[in-house]
Amino acid sequence: MTDKFTLARARFPGALTQAYIDVASRGLLPGDAPQIAHDHLRERVLGRTDKAAYFEVVEQARRGIARLLHAHVEEIAITKNVSDGLNMVANALDWKAGDEVWLCSAVEHPNNLYAWRNLEALGVKVRDFEAAESEFPIDAVIEALQGHHRARVITVSATSFLPGFRVDLDRLGAACRATGVRLVVDGAQSAGITHIDVEKTPIDALAMSTQKGLCSVYGMGFLYVRREFAEELRPRYLARFGVDIPATHEADYDAAPIRLQPAALRFDLGNYNFLAATLVTHALDLLNSLGSKDIDDHVCHLARRLGDGLVELGVPMVIPRLGRQANMICIESRRGQAPALALQEYLKTLNVQAAVRRNAVRFSFHFYNSEEDVDAALNGCSSWLTQHWPTFGFEDVNQ
């Protein structure tokens, strides 16, 4: 019997014509996406837009992501991207001068740094922990939580964009909860890829975007906020959809005192990216039918296979000690970025797509990848590295 991942892969032409190992930059769209977008736009061209159907698609997308995360539908806000969601949360807390945000800048994307650094203008202190090798220093952070402190938020990526390690959110979340600190997670690299169950894992907010693991276009995101946390928050921006009034039309106004929508719905602003919502609804149906646990197992298996193959070739690999390897594998040059770019270019000639971030070639898997993709990447790396080993600064490593 053909397995469900093979069947799903067949719906992604971009996965069949090359080894596309770069979901961490952006995911592939399914082959029917252009038709779906065409039908959506055609309605506008012909002036036949059904606005009620538009809103229903947004609600379907909200239900789809809630199902994937085991969240309540009201705990999902519709956003533009990851930084939009992070900024919504960062600016909705009632900060007092001297309050602290804890993070580790060495493992974060800048979009999970500036949102918090911006609070320095309010007297908030951003405490930047040193990385433990290439990882979020979970032990040091948990130890610091035991003493006297002013931390109100700890923020971390569920999977770092480089080198792609996962932090133990269960352990970190439990320590945060025990000490009254909120855990805000950047889910850019995990949404649709990593199994996250917010019923079990005590994270308070999770910001996501739709163009990577959620196999859709740029310009839309989701923000999960746990109900009890969301209801402590006052959005900095407010629009009609964030306010709970008896009337139902989008253009209705109520002069009564403002009552915010329940939970994360208060963060919704004005009209949505209905095209992106239409596309991501289809992708979420597929992701939910595959199941997040199975997707997680599949991508980690492929990453492990690639990592093990590179170790066999003699490539020095950084292994996570505190967290876990995710869907990503990086080959890091010790001689700057140029060798990484050269390997990436060579891989392209073999129809293998990978990214370069800083000095590393980054391979990142999704459900549409297969073992053949791993083999293609390994064959390419093997033939290139045997010729260019010293350019990566690996001379001291036995080949």
Ligand X SMILES: Cc1ncc(COP(=O)(O)O)c(C=O)c1O
19 lies in the binding site for ligand X (CB under 6 A): no
Site for ligand X in 205-224 (CB under 6 A): 209
The rounded distance, in Å, linking the Cα atoms of 127 and 133 is 18
CB 315 within 8 A of CB 331: yes
273 lies in the binding site for ligand X (CB under 6 A): no
Q: Which is nearer to ligand X, 109 or 166 (CB)?
A: 109
87 lies in the binding site for ligand X (CB under 6 A): no
Closest among 303, 13, 6 to 166, alpha carbons compared: 303
88 lies in the binding site for ligand X (CB under 6 A): no
190 lies in the binding site for ligand X (CB under 6 A): no
Q: How far is CA 269 from CA 85, 210, 315, in A?
A: 12, 18, 49
Q: Which is nearer to ligand X, 186 or 332 (CB)?
A: 186
CB 371 within 8 A of CB 305: yes
Smallest separation, CB 52 to ligand X (Å): 29
- Interface region with ligand X, contact rule CB under 6 A, candidates 105-113, 226-234, 280-288, 348-356: 105-113
362 lies in the binding site for ligand X (CB under 6 A): no
Q: Which is nearer to ligand X, 315 or 328 (CB)?
A: 328
Which of 15, 58, 78, 112 forms a contact with ligand X (CB under 6 A)? 112
Q: Which is nearer to ligand X, 80 or 266 (CB)?
A: 80
Which of 9, 30, 83, 287 forms a contact with ligand X (CB under 6 A)? 83
Q: Which is nearer to ligand X, 5 or 161 (CB)?
A: 161
60-88 burial, b at 16+ Cβ within 10 Å, e below that, comes to: bbbebbbebbebbebbbbbbbbbbbbbbb
Long-range contacts of 274-277 (CB under 8 A, 24+ apart): 274/40, 274/54, 274/57, 274/58, 275/37, 275/40, 275/41, 275/217, 276/210, 276/216, 276/217, 276/218, 276/219, 276/220, 277/54, 277/57, 277/58, 277/60, 277/61, 277/78, 277/220
Q: Which is nearer to ligand X, 33 or 162 (CB)?
A: 162
- Interface region with ligand X, contact rule CB under 6 A, candidates 125-133, 186-194, 239-247, 313-321: 186-194
Binding residues for ligand X, rule: CB under 6 A, are 81-83, 109, 111-112, 157, 161, 186, 188-189, 209
